[in-house]
Structure 1
Amino acid sequence: MNRLTQSLVLVLLGGAVLRITTVSDEYLNYVKPGFRYLLIAAAATVLVVGAAGLFKKEDGHRGPWVAWLLTLPVFAIFLIAPPPLGSYAARSEEAPARPVGALTAYTPLTRPVNTMTIGEFLGRAWGDPARSLAGKQVKLTGFVVPSKKEGRWYVARMQIACCAADAVPLKVAVLGFPSPAENQWIEVTGTWVPPEADGPEPGTVAPEIDAVHVAEIPRPVEPYE
């Protein structure tokens, strides 16, 4: 790969990242919204460096052939556009991770139906001494993950600290309602099922929700919590 080709790869890579951060929301499949302007700045820098290299005089130097592998991310962004992490990444029957930034005190739930993130639901179910979820109807949004256990399935959401590489699955077991198709995005409405006194310790199994309504929805623009 000569210098001209290397510069062209940089231009394509910078342009690809600029495309997914300025004319679409595809970057949200990989990072949190707050990283958008950092990505734009980095992509613009790479594009400028590549463009400058296109106008430099070729010195005859050639890099190793494996340098062509640098083109793979470019083609992945332009041609494949990997979707956000979904059911495959959350299929384990192990307890979901504790949500990042879980609170120890929560505001009262006063609405007829209380919309909340799956992370908040997990935090309240596992660590709220006031048991604020008890008897309250809540609405959760996530994608469907099947379960090996009969009579249940999961509503799940991946939580990220910065990017998809550090994603962890947050899951709530859904009872009393037929499962939609795997990976289908849904809104599930129901009430928390408090664990039995002699049951597993909170945090070692997914909390449960007794569903009264499940609605299929399009995938949200921001897929991660």
Structure 2
Amino acid sequence: MTRATQTLLLAITGAVLIRMASGDAYLRYVNSWMRWPLIACGALLVLLALVDVWRQDDGEEHDSHVPRAAWLLFVPSLVFFLIAPPALGAHFAERAQTAPVALEPADEVFLPELPDTDPVPVLLDDLIIRAAYDGGATLADRRLTFSGFVSRGGSDRWFVTRFGINCCAADATVMRVAATGVEPPADDQWVRVVARHVPGSGDGGTSEPEVVVEELELIEPPRNQYR
């Protein structure tokens, strides 16, 4: 690989980072707070490529030998342009281990009462945490509405599922709620459900909570598919 080729790959890598972070594509792979760090890294790579071009035009001598491994820089860019892998979905969820709920002592946890709205909107992780304490007492006799994508489990079970990430898709953990009461849509279909928590399910955080679905609506995937 020549020095000019290396400079070109550096510029392409920077351009891909900028393009990815300028829209919503980066949300398939990393957390939302990483937009500006990605843009800054991309801009720095492009700047370094331009400086290298200027130094070559200025006649400065360089070692023309560049390791062949430098070609690996081009692989992520090529994958993004040709394939653009989607966000994690049902295939990964069915093979990943559900994240256990780290329980604090019950007397140190305060779970506020849910609003009086009917149905009451909840986040999937909030539902899982509430179900883990006192058998879901704060969920009792309430109609809940939440969203996620459809995934499957053993014994013909299906789940409303989302992923939680700290940094990027590589550290994703599965959050899911077992659903009954209606026939499931296709895998990876995003749904919004109105459901009631099955008392006692998910207690202790060692298994998934279960809900009985009363209403199911097919929806488009949200802009950010991770929590």
Length-normalised TM-score, structure 2: 0.88
Aligned 8 A contact 2:136 2:203 in 1:
no
Structure 2 portions without partners, runs of 5+: none
2:221 maps to what in 1? Answer: 219
Using the TM superposition, give the Cα deviation of residue 219 of structure 1 relative to its aligned residue in structure 2, in angstroms.
0.8
| 2:214 matches 1:188 | no
Using the TM superposition, give the Cα deviation of residue 60 of structure 1 relative to its aligned residue in structure 2, in angstroms.
4.9
Using the TM superposition, give the Cα deviation of residue 154 of structure 1 relative to its aligned residue in structure 2, in angstroms.
0.4
Shift of the 63–100 alpha-carbon distance from structure 1 to 2, 3 Å rule, reads farther
Using the TM superposition, give the Cα deviation of residue 92 of structure 1 relative to its aligned residue in structure 2, in angstroms.
4.0
Aligned 8 A contact 2:27 2:224 in 1:
yes
Q: Secondary structure at the match of 2:55?
A: coil
Higher alpha-carbon deviation: 3-12 or 62-71: 62-71
1:54 maps to what in 2? Answer: 53
- Match of 1:159, as an amino acid? G
- C-alpha distance in 2, partners of 1:105/1:78? 47
Higher alpha-carbon deviation: 71-80 or 48-57: 48-57
Shift of the 134–20 alpha-carbon distance from structure 1 to 2, 3 Å rule, reads same
- C-alpha distance in 2, partners of 1:17/1:107? 42
Q: Deviations over 1:126-166 (max 9, x none)?
A: 0357710111111111110012224x310100000111111
- C-alpha distance in 2, partners of 1:76/1:92? 24
Using the TM superposition, give the Cα deviation of residue 42 of structure 1 relative to its aligned residue in structure 2, in angstroms.
1.2
Q: Secondary structure at the match of 2:18?
A: helix
- C-alpha distance in 2, partners of 1:131/1:213? 22
Aligned 8 A contact 2:97 2:173 in 1:
no
Higher alpha-carbon deviation: 85-94 or 179-188: 85-94
Aligned 8 A contact 1:3 1:53 in 2:
no
Aligned 8 A contact 1:93 1:147 in 2:
no
2:11 maps to what in 1? Answer: 11
Using the TM superposition, give the Cα deviation of residue 59 of structure 1 relative to its aligned residue in structure 2, in angstroms.
2.9
Q: Secondary structure at the match of 1:143?
A: strand
1:26 maps to what in 2? Answer: 25
Structure 1 portions without partners, runs of 5+: none
